Structure 1
Amino acid sequence: MNEKSHGGRRIHLNPAGAGRMPAAVREVLTEWTRFEDRYGPYELDERLEDVLHREIHERLAALLGAPAGDTFVTAGAAQAFAAVLSRLPLGPRDRLWTTPYESAANLGAVFALRARTGCRVEVVPLRPDGDLDLEWMARHIGDDVALVCVPHVPSGCGVVHPVEDIGRLLAPYRCLYAVDASYAVGQLPVDAARIGCHLLTGDGWRFLRGPYAAGFACVAPRLREALAPCGGVPLVPPHGAAAAALNEALALHTAATARPDLAPGLRAAVQSTAGTELIAPGRLQSGIVTFRHPDVPAALVRRRLADRGVVVWKTVAEEVPLYLPKRGVVTAVRASVHHDNSARDIELFADALQDAVSGPVPLPVPARPPLTAAPAAAAIPRARPAGRRHLALVPDGPPATRIRPGA
């Protein structure tokens, strides 16, 4: 099958990476970008005052089950998470819990917090089926746990974590609870009040199909109080035109007609393809399906699918460094579905995938031997000036403790 076999229409199975922006959203982004180019940012802010200070927050509140006063428009989930952690007043006696499914970007913020405060980082272990071990959490929770970070849906696979159950487990304790909803919001119901989290972050350009570099955060009053002595909530809003386009995407998403769940068909298409292996831990799966093939590299599968008019994503182990590398995953293919897909899209994907993995695999190009360098001329020793020495830069303080496994 090639792209001509379905009329040249591309099948977009990558809303988890970058949602297909609706025409109305693109028009808003273009219109206000041109307006700013002609009249400047101050005039743009005045024209968009109601949109940026009222309307978008009302739409975020309705989508996320949070008061409008708790919502912030940001440049993206990872930036918001890092900004909040950069001001959290933790100390060496505090423990921070993360999970094996945490993204590399969020782990960077966690390690920076550990380096700044000396807090201990522990990884919540997994059950044999790949779900987070909530029984372990119940046994080990205490008031020395200051922060718990959980992705609602990880970027590298489609498992859905029981964020509401975790919120109820943590509620009696002093810890702050942060949930990354980047790969959940827009494809699954997300309710910050039911989750019970103090920080909920998300991206607007994935399943919500807004513009790139526009996202959101919900910051509960308790977290805002904790950040107040350190200067408050340090979130930087996106460009005004991008925020206006996100506002339009939120309006269209609210009005979108729900489609039948296509994820089981997507998984079935992968499982029915000879040799493919699903990467699907956990008991509950979302509309994200990750897989690999033992003989055909993920990059080649992605390119061949693109040649056949199907857009997917190649993911690498470093995106989820505490989970994928330990399972022997180096690269994989990630496909995802949204309400604008159809059952016919899944059928065409299944045919294209069969073709993509059945073609010949090019042999790897052997490495070229290094050129033989000419022998270097003997160095002429030079006397060093008296009293001159090399300066070694030694980091202050004790070395950072290693990350602790929860098991």
Structure 2
Amino acid sequence: MNAPTYDTEGTAHLNTAGTGRMPDGVRAVLAACTARDDRFGSRALAEHLGAVLHTEVHERLGALLGVPAGDTVLATGAAEAFDAFVRAAELSPGDRIWTTPYEGVARLSTLYALRDRTRCRLEVVPLRADGDLDLDWMRAHLDGDVALVSVVHVSSACGTVSPVEQVGRLLAPHRARYAVDASHSVGQLPVDAARIGAQLVTADGWRFLRGPEAVGFAYAAHGVWSGRPPAPAPAAVAALNAALAHHAAAVRLPYEDLLPRLRAAVERTPGIEVLAPGREQAGMLAFRHGEVPAALIRRALARRGVVLWKTVAQENPLHPAARGGATAVRASVHRDNSAQDIDRFEQALRDVLREEREEREYTGGAAVAPGAALAAAGGDRFGGPPPYRGTPVRRGHLTLHRTT
């Protein structure tokens, strides 16, 4: 069997939410610093980058998040920063933790570990019928027992934007510590940590900021943690600093939001179901086909030079779309995309679905609905206690179950 071939010339990269393409200048900084590290060692590189590592990158992060530079912290990723924050939490069996159906698996793993360690209660804030967080439910159930609230600013599953500033105002008079995951919002939406009112705002550097992997950051209020999250490599920090400078220059330029164009292209395609809960989405659109599996769509598009992401239920196990183990395809757009990328994607998607339909007609094969195999294996049994025990998983897939 021949290996698939991928078109690397003029690729339409619609996966910035997964891994953003580094600008040439950022990639050059990373390459130069990596070469210097390889030749002289990380200590020598850190000395060479002293002002960048200790001052410049924090000034840029402070400007990005609207907070003092001294309140920003570097980490290997948003999940690691959140884990350090939670490890410092002192909760009792009578305390309650709130999370949402949009929470990702890495933070959920950390929250389940905290629940197991302290015997507190973990509750899931419900969604309204339109897919937005139910703020009225939060007002009705908020009391002195709520000790920690974790909210995702933009859902990695489908791009739903949560009202993090409204949640912050709601929590302000109460004891609850508030943590916001801005991994999929920073770099595409304004993120003002001071206005949000959270004690912790975390983000990754390799998504919409288009920096290197294995580097993230956080705004942390005073007294949030006693220790610090693991520090990223100096070369990664230098490249993040360059990405922040590139982003600050790019936001001053005119920009067309391509998400409406992307959605229109998907909705015009027969057989496609758009997964877009909530009244507002940003940068991402998830969809699936009633007969063609998401994995097949992603691979076939990649062979045509269109790069997307396949989502799986385990990445966002509390999300309503995760029931039945369903998979989906997620496309994301950013400033480095063009209208031509969307046109190329739409034509490629139509070609893929047409060829699959013709193949089924020729072979007489029966279609299998996406997620059916997982459901048959028990992947749709949501509502029981989580199987998680042990060290939190930072990335990858872990099956967790909704707990209230």
Indicate the TM-score class for this superposition, using the shorter chain for normalisation. 0.7 to 0.9
| Structure 2, unpaired ranges of 5+ | 369-388, 390-400
2:220 equivalent in structure 1: 219
| Structure 1, unpaired ranges of 5+ | 367-394, 396-401
Q: Which amino acid aligns with 1:317?
A: A
1:202-260 per-residue CA deviation (whole Å, 9 max, x = no partner) reads 00000000000011011011x43xx3xxxx13212100000000000000011013411
Q: Distance between the aligned counterparts of 2:24 and 2:403, measured in 1?
A: 48
1:91-126 per-residue CA deviation (whole Å, 9 max, x = no partner) reads 111110000111011100000001111111110011
Asked if residue 253 in structure 1 is aligned to residue 254 in structure 2, the reply is: no
1:66 equivalent in structure 2: 67
1:3-42 per-residue CA deviation (whole Å, 9 max, x = no partner) reads 88xx931011000000001111111111111111111122
Q: Which amino acid aligns with 1:32?
A: C
The change in CA–CA distance for 1:349 and 1:325 in structure 2 (over 3 A counts) is closer
Q: Does the CA-based 8 Å contact 1:324-1:330 persist in structure 2?
A: no
1:259-301 per-residue CA deviation (whole Å, 9 max, x = no partner) reads 1110011111111100000110000111100000011110111
Q: Distance between the aligned counterparts of 1:26 and 1:404, measured in 2?
A: 43
Residue pairs, 1:230-309, within 5 angstroms = 232-256=226-250, 257-309=253-305
Q: Distance between the aligned counterparts of 2:227 and 2:220, measured in 1?
A: 8
Q: Distance between the aligned counterparts of 2:217 and 2:48, measured in 1?
A: 21
Q: Does the CA-based 8 Å contact 2:18-2:309 persist in structure 1?
A: yes
1:102 equivalent in structure 2: 103
Residue pairs, 1:2-401, within 5 angstroms = 8-221=9-222, 223-224=223-224, 227=225, 232-256=226-250, 257-324=253-320, 326-328=322-324, 330-360=326-356
Q: Which amino acid aligns with 1:102?
A: E
Q: Distance between the aligned counterparts of 1:342 and 1:39, measured in 2?
A: 41
- Give me the TM-score of the superposition, normalised by structure 1: 0.85
1:107-155 per-residue CA deviation (whole Å, 9 max, x = no partner) reads 0000000111111111001101111000000111111111000000111
**Residue 303 (structure 1) shift:** 1.1
Q: Distance between the aligned counterparts of 1:326 and 1:354, measured in 2?
A: 26
Matched pairs, number: 361
Show structure 1 runs of 4+ deviating over 3 A: 324-329, 361-366, 402-405
Q: Does the CA-based 8 Å contact 2:291-2:367 persist in structure 1?
A: no
The change in CA–CA distance for 1:130 and 1:29 in structure 2 (over 3 A counts) is same
Which moved further from structure 2: 212-221 or 80-89? 80-89
Task: Report sequence identity in percent.
Answer: 57
CA RMSD of aligned residues (A): 2.0
Task: Name the SS for the 1:179 alignment partner.
Answer: strand
Higher Rg of the two aligned structures: 1
Q: Which amino acid aligns with 1:295?
A: E
Q: Which amino acid aligns with 1:217?
A: A
Q: Distance between the aligned counterparts of 1:258 and 1:72, measured in 2?
A: 31
- Give me the TM-score of the superposition, normalised by structure 2: 0.86
Q: Distance between the aligned counterparts of 2:120 and 2:217, measured in 1?
A: 27
Which moved further from structure 2: 26-35 or 238-247? 26-35
1:390 equivalent in structure 2: none
The change in CA–CA distance for 1:365 and 1:287 in structure 2 (over 3 A counts) is closer
Q: Distance between the aligned counterparts of 1:324 and 1:284, measured in 2?
A: 17
**Residue 87 (structure 1) shift:** 2.1
Q: Which amino acid aligns with 2:180?
A: V
Q: Distance between the aligned counterparts of 2:353 and 2:150, measured in 1?
A: 37
Task: Name the SS for the 1:172 alignment partner.
Answer: coil
